[in-house]
Structures are given as structure tokens and as C-alpha cells.
Amino acid sequence: MKKILSPVKKIGEQSDQLTSSKTLYDVSWRELVLRNLIAGISRAFGGLLFNVIILLILGSILFTAVWPQAQSFFNSLMNASKTMSQFSQTFNQFNNFPTN
């Protein structure tokens, strides 16, 4: 068991040595800009991903709940449009009649 845990302990000690106790005032401006740039890009990407997921969930809920009811409305709207275009064609035929 000690043979298994000893490499893990070494990795933990090495990671402790990698981190330094640098403060904001001890790092160079490049490191500060780079870290803030990476943090900003990560935050923006996370927000974008979160918004896309929320929109997909809400869209699927709306599509399954509202579409069956809205579909009948759109079908009646299409039928009304077809009827109006037929009336328009008939009206144009009578309107083009010669009046001599």
C-alpha cells in the first residue's frame, strides 16, 4: 500500500513546489495580463455555453408545449391566405372585364 501512495505523495509535493507565493505586485505585467485574459475568455465562453444550454432547454419545452396549439392557428392562417388569394384572382378577372 505504501508503494502505491508514495508516487501520489511525491506528485503532491511537486505541485506544492510549483505554486509560488507571488502576490499581484510581484508578478510581471505580462503574466498579469495573460492570466486576466485567460480568465476573461473562460468566463465569456462559460457564459455563452450556459446561455446556449438554457435557450435549448427553454426552446425544447416551448416547442413541445406550445407548437401543437400554435400549429392549428398557423394552419388556419394559411387557409385564410389561400382563400384571400383566390378571391383576389377572381376579383382581378371581374375587374379586367371590358366596359364598352
Residue 6, pLDDT score = 65
- Distance CA(23)–CA(26), nearest Å, equals 5
Residue 98 pLDDT level (bands cut at 50, 70, 90): low
| Helix ranges restricted to H, 1-100 | 2-18, 29-95
Per-residue pLDDT of 44-94, as tens digits, reads 999 999 999 999 999 999 889 888 888 888 899 999 998 888 887 777 777
Q: Say if residues 24 and 32 touch (Cβ distance below 8 Å).
A: yes
Distances (CA, A) of 8 to 2, 11, 17, 48: 10, 5, 14, 37
What's the pLDDT score for residue 5?
60
